[in-house]
Structure 1
Amino acid sequence: MRIAVLSDTHLKNHKLDLPQIVVEILKNMDGIIHCGDMKEEGLLDLLEAYGPVYAVHGNGDNEALRAKLKERLVIHLGDYKIGIVHGHGEKGKTSDRAFEAFEDMEVDIILYGHSHQPLLQTKKGILMVNPGSQTAKRREKKHSMVILNLGQNLHCEFIFF
């Protein structure tokens, strides 16, 4: 099972143009996870055209998305229990806030965003992944996203463009 992981797209309804490389990848995925900050509902509708979408809202999302999406979500895909959160908050590092959001439950993977910085790390046996941003790289050299291969062997592939 191949899952595209996105975050921090920050697109407005009048400009829903995802980079072409992202569109091509989405066409070949079994599902899509978005870790928040889509901005407006139009992007959620666009992503749903490519397959099942599992998403949370972020601090930059409008009221309609906040009403539709949870702040924290746990899903089962393949043999994996995956926690999804945006990671915003007031204290500490984004990765620590993401980890703390799931410390009361058992998960194998935590996917989060907010910082726009791609990151892969393991914390207390949990794989933690921030895909970066596909459209708003901020101080990063490149835009990025992740493809999770959820087979017998878990594989996390960063795509930089």
Structure 2
Amino acid sequence: MKSMNVIIVSDTHMPRMAKQLPEVLRKELLGADLIIHLGDWQTKDVYEELKSYAPVTGVYGNVDEPFFIEHFNEKLVLELESHLIGVTHGHGKGKTTEQRAISQFKNENVELILFGHSHIPLHKEYEGRVLFNPGSPTDKRKQSHYSFGKLNVKANQPLQIDHVFFMEK
């Protein structure tokens, strides 16, 4: 049974926070079947670079240029190997980023909610769903490490998702 290797990134904020994607991320992208970006790409160059590795999908964030608003949605439900995955950036007013992400999919039967915006890595279960924020590979703010996510998808198997933490950007 083939598995699908998905790399999850968010909040790249390029070129403001980095001139290029970190080497550890670029190495992981070489084996990607799909890349999901959770918004705040900042410029189209990030999209162009990512799609040179693998197909790219995702959502726009609150600091993205018009290209992203024209070509991506604020929210997305992906079906990968019969798994439903909710994708959003998580920005907005009121509530926490996590609460906004959850509320965007309250009427959807997703098993995994991917969101960004806060730059704070998160991996937890909430009411039978997995919530996952990959953090940022280029702008760790007050976090100890830069980070992104790796998702392994197989039909009829539980989703496997983990953070990749690293120090050098």
Please tell me the TM-score bracket, short chain as reference: over 0.9
Residue among 143, 148, 152 paired with 1:149: 152
Residue among 112, 117, 122 paired with 1:114: 117
Quick one: distance in 1 between partners of 2:106 and 2:159? Answer: 21
Runs of 4+ in 1 over 2 A off after TM superposition: none
- 1:1-161 alignment, distance < 5 Å: 1-12=4-15, 16-151=19-154, 152-161=157-166
Q: Which runs of 5+ in 1 are unaligned?
A: none
Deviations, residues 23-54 of structure 1 (Å, cap 9, x unaligned): 00000111111000000111111111111111
Deviation at 1:12, TM superposition (A): 2.6
1:16 and 1:43 in contact (8 A); partners too:
no
Deviation at 1:107, TM superposition (A): 0.7
Structure 2 length-normalised TM: 0.91
Deviation at 1:147, TM superposition (A): 0.3
Query: What percentage of aligned pairs have identical amino acids?
Result: 38
Deviation at 1:65, TM superposition (A): 1.3
Structure 1 length-normalised TM: 0.95
Partner SS for 1:96: helix
Q: Which runs of 5+ in 2 are unaligned?
A: none
Tell me the matched-pair count: 160
Quick one: distance in 2 between partners of 1:75 and 1:84? Answer: 8
1:87 and 1:94 in contact (8 A); partners too:
yes
Quick one: distance in 2 between partners of 1:84 and 1:154? Answer: 15
